[in-house]
């Protein structure tokens, strides 16, 4: 095969990913999905005994919750909103005319009450806050959602619509930082079981603008975010396939998540980038699953 063929082209040629004409927006083959399903079962094996409450939200969230989250302060460049046509018949006629002559037909679309979910845990905090006080022994949730980020790229590991599996822990500082540490250890163990080379490093989010630089430095200096990295597109710059985030009491304060005595809970979340993990497996072991090492197939399919 031509050495110049990119990993993305090879994924298209093999049919594992399906080109839609938009960078970062792909269809997935049954084989690709089967790898994700198998890896999620492995996640269940590692986390299943913890007694997390499973919740599945759709890939859109309440716009009011999104506004309260402060996402537009930190990552305005990544957000995606859902807009719809809300006009009358006359408006409809001018809409169709507009499309016919190739003008911008989207400019009169109105914002709906739905925003695309930027990270699987975003809809959870207001949902849990509504339930009342958090137990002294803490709370644990198991989430999975398609997430949207407006970051079009030719790198197959950077998609605009991708799935995140998350565990979210709420409780005391010690409780949630222990949770985070245990998943860093499990993450390394899991990836080893499927034959992937990993490193863990401190990280920061890409907060927008000059003020964002300070937020990013602060996050890094305080070890609030770690990533588990696996080489996919580049050996020199491995890709984050999991992240381990400690929010201190920031989300507890924002959403009013409290213990019964009124004190604010701390939160942490651990996210698996499911497409990235599948891509790391295909990149490391080859595009044909039948050719994968026996130990890897055994870990995934028993
Ligand atoms: P990166 O630094 O690579 O942009 P991130 O810090 O933005 O990653 P998180 O916000 O921590 O990522 O999201 C949790 C996980 O979701 C990441 O560790 C990664 O595996 C996955 N992920 C994030 N952005 C994308 C994307 N654009 N496409 C595919 N997976 C992604
Ligand atoms: Zn999260
Ligand atoms: Mg990012």
| Atom of ligand 1 at shortest range from CA of 227 | 18
Q: Enumerate residues lining ligand 1, CB below 6 A.
A: 119, 149, 151, 157-159, 162, 164, 205, 227, 240-243, 271, 273, 275-276
- Three-class secondary structure of residue 137 per DSSP: coil
pLDDT of residue 188: 98
pLDDT of residue 73: 96
Q: What is the pTM of this model?
A: 0.97
Mean pLDDT across the chain, nearest whole number?
97
pLDDT of residue 224: 97
Q: How far apart are CA 83 and CA 62, in angstroms?
A: 13
Strands, E assignment, the chain: 17-19, 26-28, 53-55, 60-62, 81-84, 110-116, 139-148, 161-171, 199-202, 225-230, 239-246, 266-273
Q: Which ligand is nearest to the CA of 272?
A: 1
Which of 40, 119, 164, 272 has most ligand 1 atoms within 8 Å of its beta carbon, as the pocket-test mutant? Answer: 164
- Three-class secondary structure of residue 12 per DSSP: helix
For residue 221, give the DSSP letter.
H
Render pLDDT for 250-270 as a digit per residue (tens, 0 to 9): 999 999 999 999 999 999 999
> How remote is the CA of residue 1 from the centroid of ligand 3, in Å?
32
| Atom of ligand 1 at shortest range from CA of 242 | 18
pLDDT of residue 5: 83
> How remote is the CA of residue 27 from the centroid of ligand 2, in Å?
25
Render pLDDT for 97-138 as a digit per residue (tens, 0 to 9): 999 999 999 999 999 999 999 999 999 999 999 999 999 999
State ipTM. 0.99
Which of 231, 243, 268, 270 has most ligand 1 atoms within 8 Å of its beta carbon, as the pocket-test mutant? Answer: 243
Instruction: Name the residue at shortest CA distance from atom 11 of ligand 1.
Output: 243
| Atom of ligand 1 at shortest range from CA of 245 | 11
pLDDT of residue 302: 93
Q: Are strands 139-148 and 53-55 parallel, antiparallel or unpaired?
A: parallel
The residue with greater pLDDT, 197 or 240, is 240
pLDDT of residue 41: 98
* pLDDT for 236 beyond 50: yes
Render pLDDT for 46-91 as a digit per residue (tens, 0 to 9): 999 999 999 999 999 999 999 999 999 999 999 999 999 999 999 9
> How remote is the CA of residue 92 from the centroid of ligand 1, in Å?
39
Instruction: Name the residue at shortest CA distance from atom 27 of ligand 1.
Output: 158
Q: Which domains does the chain have, with CATH numbers?
A: 7-79+118-301 (3.30.930.10), 83-116 (no CATH)
Instruction: Name the residue at shortest CA distance from atom 16 of ligand 1.
Output: 273
Q: How far apart are CA 193 and CA 288, in angstroms?
A: 19
pLDDT of residue 3: 55
* pLDDT for 34 beyond 80: yes
pLDDT of residue 1: 47
Q: How far apart are CA 162 and CA 158, in angstroms?
A: 9
């Amino acid at each position: 095969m031509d050495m110049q063929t990119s990993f993305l082209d090879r994924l298209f040629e093999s049919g594992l990913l399906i080109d839609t004409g938009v960078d970062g927006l792909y269809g997935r083959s049954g084989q690709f999905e089967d790898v994700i399903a198998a890896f999620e079962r492995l996640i269940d094996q590692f986390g299943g005994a913890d007694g997390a409450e499973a919740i599945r939200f759709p890939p859109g969230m309440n716009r009011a919750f999104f506004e309260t989250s402060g996402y537009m302060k930190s990552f305005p460049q990544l957000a995606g909103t859902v807009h719809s046509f809300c006009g009358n018949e006359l408006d409809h006629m001018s809409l169709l005319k507009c499309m016919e002559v190739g003008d911008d037909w989207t400019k009169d679309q109105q914002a709906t009450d739905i925003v695309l979910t930027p990270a699987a845990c975003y809809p959870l905090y207001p949902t849990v806050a509504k339930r009342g006080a958090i137990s002294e022994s803490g709370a644990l949730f198991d989430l999975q959602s398609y997430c949207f980020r407006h970051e079009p790229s030719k790198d197959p590991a950077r998609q605009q619509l991708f799935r995140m599996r998350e565990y979210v822990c709420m409780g005391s500082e010690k409780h949630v930082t222990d949770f985070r540490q245990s998943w860093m250890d499990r993450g390394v163990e899991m990836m080893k079981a499927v034959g992937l080379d990993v490193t863990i490093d401190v990280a920061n989010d890409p907060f927008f603008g000059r003020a964002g630089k300070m937020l990013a430095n602060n996050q890094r200096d305080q070890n609030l975010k770690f990533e588990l990295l696996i080489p996919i597109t580049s050996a020199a710059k491995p890709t984050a396939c999991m992240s381990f985030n400690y929010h201190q009491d920031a989300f507890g304060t924002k959403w009013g998540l409290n213990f019964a005595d009124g004190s604010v809970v701390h939160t942490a979340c651990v996210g698996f980038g499911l497409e990235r993990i599948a891509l790391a497996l295909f990149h490391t072991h080859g595009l044909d699953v039948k050719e994968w090492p026996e130990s890897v197939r055994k870990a995934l399919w028993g």
